[in-house]
Amino acid sequence: MKKLIVSIKSSGESLSSFKKALKDARKGRLKGDHFELAFDTKKDFDRFVKNLSVLSAILVHKPKSVYELAKHLDMDVSNLNKLVSFFESIGAIKIKTSTVAGRTVKTPLVEYEQIEFDLKVA
C-alpha cells in the first residue's frame, strides 16, 4: 500500500532526513512504499490540510478532468486549478494530460491509499 507521510520540518531537518533516506537507499534498506511530504511553513501545511477534501474527492470520484472534479466539489474551476497546481507542485497528486476531441484534458490522480501525519509536539 502506497502511503503519503505529511510533516512540518525546518529546512535543516528536511535535509537531514533526506541524507538519511539516501544513505538507507544506497544500502538497500528502504522502508516500504511511501513518500514523505515535509512542509517548512505553516501556511503551506495549513493550505494542504484545509483542502484534503480535494484529494478525497479525486480518490472517490476518479474524475476524468479537473472540470469534472469541480462539478463534484461544486467549486469554481479556476480556483480548483490553483489547488490542483499546488498539490502537483508538492507531489501530492500527478496530472495525466491527454487530448480529447482536440482539447487538452488534465486528469488528476492520487497514487496513495493512505495519508499519515507525523507531527511532533515542541
Q: Does residue 90 contact residue 107 with C-beta atoms inside 8 Å?
A: no
Q: What is the pTM of this model?
A: 0.79
Rounded to an integer, what is the distance from CA 122 to the centroid of its chain? 25
In this prediction, residue 122 has a pLDDT band, given cuts at 50, 70 and 90, of: low
The string of pLDDT tens digits covering residues 62-80 is: 999 999 999 999 999 999 9
Angle at 111 between CA 37 and CA 36, to 5 degrees: 15
In angstroms, rounded to a whole number, what is the distance separating the alpha carbons of residues 40 and 67? 31
Q: Does residue 112 contact residue 35 with C-beta atoms inside 8 Å?
A: yes
Does the pLDDT value for residue 113 go beyond 80?
yes
In angstroms, rounded to a whole number, what is the distance separating the alpha carbons of residues 77 and 24? 42
Strand, helix or coil for residue 99:
strand
Domains of the chain: 3-118 (1.10.10.10)
Tell me phi and psi for residue 60, to 5 degrees.
Answer: -75, -50
In this prediction, residue 8 has a pLDDT band, given cuts at 50, 70 and 90, of: confident
In this prediction, residue 118 has a pLDDT band, given cuts at 50, 70 and 90, of: confident
> 46: Cβ–Cβ under 8 A, 6 or more apart, which residues?
none
